[in-house]
Amino acid sequence: MASQCSFDITSNVDLQEVDNALNQARKEVAQRYDFKGAKAEIEFDAKESTLVLAADDEFKLNALWEIVQTRLIRRDVPVKNLNRGPVQAASTGTVRQEITLQQGIPSEKAKDIIKFLKDAKLKKVQASIQGDQVRVTSSSKDDLQDAMRVLRGHDFGVALQFGNYRS
C-alpha cells in the first residue's frame, strides 16, 4: 500500500520581525525632514495583531504607511497579510488608521485554495481545511510538488507558506 505524503499551507506573520520593522520606521520618521514638527505615531499591539498609524493629515498618513510598508518588506514580512482599515478623524484635527495583521488562512480563502486545486485537475491530490491552515495530501511526491508550483503561481490575497512536509 502506498504511503500518503502531505504538506500544510499556512499564512503567518512573524510578530517579532514586525516589531523590528516598526522600530526602524519610527527612527526613520524621527529623522525625516518632512515629518519635523509634525505628529506621526506608530503603535503596535502584538496581542491583538494590530497596528495604528496616526498623523496630521491624510497625506502624511500615506507617507507614514509607505515608510512602514518599505521596512516590513525589507524584513521579509508579507505585506499581503496586512488589512488597512478606513482613515478616521481623530482628536485635534489628526487622522488615524488601524491595520490588522492576518494570522492564518481565513475560511473563505481556504475554500478558494481547495477549489483552485480541484480545478487544476492534479491527479490524486486531496486538500482539506484544518483550522486556519490547509493540508494537501497525495500518494505521489511529484503531485505535491506540482500542487505547490501551481499554488505559487496564483494570487489568493494572502501570502502562502508551505511547511510540515511529511512523506
Q: Domains of the chain: which residue ranges?
A: 5-12+105-166, 15-101
CA angle 22, 65, 152 (to 5 degrees): 85
Residue 1 has pLDDT above 50, yes or no: no
Sheet with 82-89, side-by-side order of all strands: 40-45, 50-55, 95-101, 82-89
Q: Taking residues 138-143, what's their average pLDDT? A: 85
Rg (CA), the chain: 20
- Exposed e or buried b per residue across 51-74, where buried means at least 16 C-beta atoms within 10 angstroms of its C-beta: bbbbbbeeebbebbbebbbebbee
Question: Tens digit of pLDDT for each residue in 13-72?
Answer: 888 999 999 999 999 999 988 888 888 899 999 898 899 999 988 899 999 999 999 999
Q: Using the predicted structure, report yes or no on whether residue 2 has a pLDDT greater than 70.
A: no
Neighbours of 148 (CB within 10 A): 16
Whether the model pTM is above 0.85: no
Name the band, by pLDDT with cuts 50, 70 and 90, for residue 121.
Answer: confident
The CATH number given to 5-12+105-166 is 3.30.70.860
For residue 4, give the 3-state DSSP assignment.
Answer: coil
In this chain, the answer to whether the domains covering 5-12+105-166 and 15-101 adopt an identical fold is yes
CATH architecture of the domain with range 15-101: 2-Layer Sandwich (3.30)
Per-residue pLDDT of 60-116, as tens digits, reads 999 999 999 999 999 998 888 888 999 898 878 889 999 999 888 888 888 998 888
User: Which residues are within 8 A (CB) of 26 and not within 5 positions of it... i.e. 6 or more apart?
Assistant: 42
Considering only CA atoms, which of 103, 125, 124 is closest in space to residue 114? 125
